[in-house]
Amino acid sequence: MGHPDIHAQTNTTTQTVTALPDEEALHQELRGLKKVYEDAVNSGDLKTLAPMFGPQSTGIIALNQEFHTLPEMEKIYEDFMSMLGPDHVYRVSLNPERSLIFGDIAIARGTSDDYIKSKGHEFNFQSHWSAVLRRENGNWRMINLQATMDPFHNSVTDFIMTSIKRVYGGVGLAIGLLLGIALGYLIFGRGKKY
CA angle, 12 then 16 then 22, to 5°: 170
Which regions of 70-120 does DSSP assign to beta strands (E)?
89-96, 100-102, 105-118
pLDDT at 8: 41
* Mean pLDDT of the chain, nearest integer: 80
pLDDT digit string, tens, across residues 130-183: 999 999 988 999 999 998 876 556 555 555 555 565 566 666 666 776 777 777
- Low-confidence stretches of the chain (pLDDT < 50) are 1-13, 18-21
> pLDDT over 70 for what percent of the chain?
69
What is the CB neighbour count within 10 angstroms for residue 9? 4
- Give the global pTM: 0.68
